[in-house]
Amino acid sequence: MRFLATGMDSHVLEWSQEKFGLAPKYCDMALGVIEDGELVGSAFFHAWNGPDIELSYYGPNTLTLGIYRSLMRIAVNSFGVSRVTIRTARNNKTMTRGIKKLGFEFEGIRHHGYGKYDAIMYGLYGEKLARLAGKAVH
């Protein structure tokens, strides 16, 4: 069973940098994805500006619907956002399919967003975010 662990921001940042060569330089919150006592993935909330926060996730084949829902609950309950922004490499077909299934909407392309590779931007907001975060929708 996988779960999210908080309170270990610097360890998660270091692990992600070593494992994937990637991690935000600054984040508002880092969460570790733990399975069988081992760190297998990481999630970072960053670029929080009040109503919006960006989410980055590292860990192939570790993202579950339960973890996604937990991340959306944290975004809404801890940061009070009304939208979550995700970007992924344009060639990451697995992630782009999964993001769309969760209700994220395509918002554009950030050319050279990952150096020589383009990034695709997605947003989740309003009722879709509330439902995924487990909030009552009126």
Sketch the domain layout of the chain as residue ranges: 2-132
Give the closest residue to 31 by CA, choosing from 51, 50, 53, 52: 53
User: What confidence tens digit (pLDDT) does each residue in 61-114 have?
Assistant: 898 889 999 999 999 999 999 999 999 989 888 888 888 988 999 999 999 998
CATH fit for domain 2-132, picks 2.30.30.110, 3.40.50.2300, 3.40.50.300, 3.40.630.30? 3.40.630.30
Across the range 108-136, mean pLDDT stands at 92
- Please state, in angstroms and rounded to a whole number, the distance separating the CA atoms of residues 77 and 121: 23
DSSP secondary structure code for residue 82 in this structure:
S
User: What confidence tens digit (pLDDT) does each residue in 29-38 have?
Assistant: 999 999 999 9
- Please state, in angstroms and rounded to a whole number, the distance separating the CA atoms of residues 6 and 30: 7
